């Protein structure tokens, strides 16, 4: 099975940006524009609220309390408009819950994401299995509005909430043999229909990885929320990776294991089709996917009449921050 490049968004699914943006403007009014604009100011993160039956995911009590104390990291946020909330929760890739864009939002609603523990091991001084609540306790959550660019050539702007990955890694004390970080999604075929499907050609569980310097970069982020609430199950609750300069398949969801290792991890998509999905997967308009161009992307929401095609930027527009990591690497070979 290969990642498809679908044209599956019906114009009827798309609601004007004003729904989400009006809400934000309302919150700005409440909180004062200056408070929102200033980095480091504690505030209740703006949450989407809609008429109708759109689900929001408050998460467990301890997470709600931390979300309330969250703050926006304006320095590491784009000022582009976030996708309307309903779009971000209904256009998903999460093959454990099916291969169509609407499958995860349909099939993941009963997915149990609390309580949740994460096993951290390998080349670290403090290995252990940590309840998620304990892992997050020391941190003030931050919101980062980032661009998600899928290898299928669509993209979305999403306000994620979480912590810098480096903060967590430093706490478990990586040793000098820790050259890569490997992340593993939950393996639970009972809950995840895609993992028990006879048609699936992916090896489960889903595994992704980063080089240690990539993992320690300030843009690498572990998300526990989005749009001011907990992560919806279809978006990778309760814990997912956010690496905005890399294609979306690196943004592994529902993480249960983090291992610091010496060898480059054998990652899921790279194993499935090594000539199509490299380990690095840095967004690169100059290196096409063997079956389609990566020069442009469809920024969602889009429609037949307003396809909203934009040029893809090297490193998804984060080149200034991350290009130096790859100074000595031939990016056509290490795609
Ligand atoms: N993580 C797991 N475990 N399983 C997946 O199928 N899909 C990836 C990534 N993380 C995937 C995953 C891909 S291809 C993309 S583009 C993003 O999740 C999509 O994230 P979103 O559904 O929150 O937009």
| Any domain includes 163 | yes
**What sign for the dihedral angle of Cα 323, 326, 331, 335?**
negative
Q: Which of 83, 156, 249 to mutate to test the pocket of ligand 1 (most atoms within 8 A of CB)?
A: 249
Beta strands in the chain (DSSP E): 71-72, 117-122, 128-131, 142-149, 154-164, 180-185, 207-211, 221-226, 229-230, 240-242, 255-261, 296-299, 309-311
Lowest mean pLDDT among 53-57, 181-185, 314-318, 325-329: 53-57
| Farthest-apart Cα atoms in the chain, separation | 55
| Any domain includes 177 | yes
pLDDT given for residue 335 in this prediction: 97
User: In this structure, are residues 83 and 145 in contact, taking their beta carbons and an 8 Å threshold?
Assistant: no
**What would the mean pLDDT of 308-334 be, rounded to a whole number?**
98
What domain range is 60 assigned to?
11-326
Residue 69's closest CA among 132, 163, 147, 165? Answer: 163
**What would the mean pLDDT of 171-196 be, rounded to a whole number?**
98
**What would the mean pLDDT of 128-133 be, rounded to a whole number?**
98
| Any domain includes 271 | yes
Confidence of residue 3 (pLDDT cuts 50, 70, 90): low
| CA of residue 94 to ligand 1 center, whole Å | 5
| Any domain includes 5 | no
pLDDT given for residue 53 in this prediction: 78
Residue 269 host element (H or E) = helix 268-272
pLDDT given for residue 43 in this prediction: 52
What is the percent of the chain where pLDDT is above 90? 83
Q: Is 332 exposed, middle or buried (0-12, 13-18, 19+ CB in 10 A)?
A: exposed
What's the CA gap between 261 and 120, in Å, rounded?
11
| CA of residue 248 to ligand 1 center, whole Å | 6
- Is the CB–ligand 1 distance for residue 195 below 6 Å? no
For residue 3, what is the DSSP state?
-
What's the CA gap between 237 and 67, in Å, rounded?
15
- Is the CB–ligand 1 distance for residue 248 below 6 Å? yes
| CA of residue 6 to ligand 1 center, whole Å | 15
Other C-beta atoms within 10 Å of 274: how many?
11
**What would the mean pLDDT of 240-252 be, rounded to a whole number?**
99
| Any domain includes 264 | yes
Q: For the whole model, what pTM was predicted? A: 0.89
Look over the chain and give the mean of its residue pLDDT values, rounded to a whole number. Answer: 89
What's the CA gap between 59 and 66, in Å, rounded?
11
What's the CA gap between 205 and 90, in Å, rounded?
23
- Both structure tokens of 284: 């690169």
- The residue assigned the tokens 């946020």 is 77
What is the percent of the chain where pLDDT is above 70? 86
- Which whole-number Å values give the CA distances from 4 to 1, 7, 153, 322, in the listed order? 9, 9, 10, 28
Q: What is the pLDDT of residues 35-82, one digit of tens each?
A: 333 344 445 677 776 656 789 999 999 999 999 999 999 999 999 999
When divided into structural domains, the chain yields a total of: 1
Query: What's the CATH code of the domain at 306?
Result: 3.90.420.10
Residue 97's closest CA among 86, 109, 108? Answer: 108
What's the CA gap between 63 and 251, in Å, rounded?
21
| Any domain includes 3 | no
| Any domain includes 331 | no
Between 316 and 17, whose confidence is greater? 316
Q: What ligand 1 atom has the least distance to the C-alpha of 206? A: 3
Confidence of residue 285 (pLDDT cuts 50, 70, 90): very high
pLDDT given for residue 47 in this prediction: 76
What is the CA 156 to chain-centroid distance, rounded? 11
| Any domain includes 335 | no
- Is the CB–ligand 1 distance for residue 103 below 6 Å? no
What's the CA gap between 114 and 111, in Å, rounded?
9
| CA of residue 250 to ligand 1 center, whole Å | 8
Residues forming a β-bridge with 148: 156
pLDDT given for residue 164 in this prediction: 98
pLDDT given for residue 51 in this prediction: 56
**What would the mean pLDDT of 144-150 be, rounded to a whole number?**
98
Q: What ligand 1 atom has the least distance to the C-alpha of 92? A: 22
């Amino acid at each position: 099975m290969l990642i498809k490049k679908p044209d599956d968004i019906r114009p009827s699914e798309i609601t004007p940006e004003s729904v989400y943006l009006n809400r934000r403007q309302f919150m700005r009014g409440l909180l004062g524009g200056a408070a929102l604009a200033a980095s480091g100011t504690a505030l209740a993160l703006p949450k989407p609220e809609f008429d109708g039956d759109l689900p929001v995911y408050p998460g467990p009590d301890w997470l709600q309390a931390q979300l309330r104390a969250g703050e926006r990291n304006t320095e590491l946020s784009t000022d582009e408009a976030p996708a309307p909330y309903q779009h971000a929760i209904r256009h998903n890739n999460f093959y454990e819950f099916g291969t169509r864009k609407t499958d995860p939002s349909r099939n993941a609603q009963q997915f149990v994401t609390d309580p949740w523990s994460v096993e951290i091991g390998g080349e670290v001084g403090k290995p252990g299995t940590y309840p998620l609540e304990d892992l997050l306790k020391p941190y003030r959550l931050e919101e980062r509005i980032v661009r998600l660019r899928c290898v299928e050539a669509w993209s979305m702007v999403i306000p994620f909430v979480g912590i810098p990955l480096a903060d967590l890694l430093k706490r478990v004390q990586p040793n000098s043999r820790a050259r890569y970080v490997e992340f593993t999604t939950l393996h639970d075929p009972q809950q995840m229909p895609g993992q028990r499907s006879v048609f699936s050609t992916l090896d489960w569980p889903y595994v992704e990885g980063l080089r240690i310097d990539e993992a320690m970069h300030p843009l690498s982020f572990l998300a526990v929320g989005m749009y001011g609430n907990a992560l919806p199950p279809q978006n990778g609750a309760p814990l997912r990776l956010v690496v905005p300069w890399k294609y979306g398949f690196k943004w592994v969801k529902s993480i249960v294991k983090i291992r610091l290792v010496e060898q480059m991890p054998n990652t899921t998509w790279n194993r499935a089709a090594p000539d199509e999905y490299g380990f690095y997967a840095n967004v690169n308009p100059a290196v096409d996917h063997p079956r389609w161009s990566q020069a442009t992307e469809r920024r969602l929401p889009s429609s037949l009449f307003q396809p909203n095609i934009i040029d893809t930027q090297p490193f998804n527009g984060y080149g200034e921050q991350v290009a130096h990591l790859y100074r000595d690497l031939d990016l056509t070979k290490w795609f």
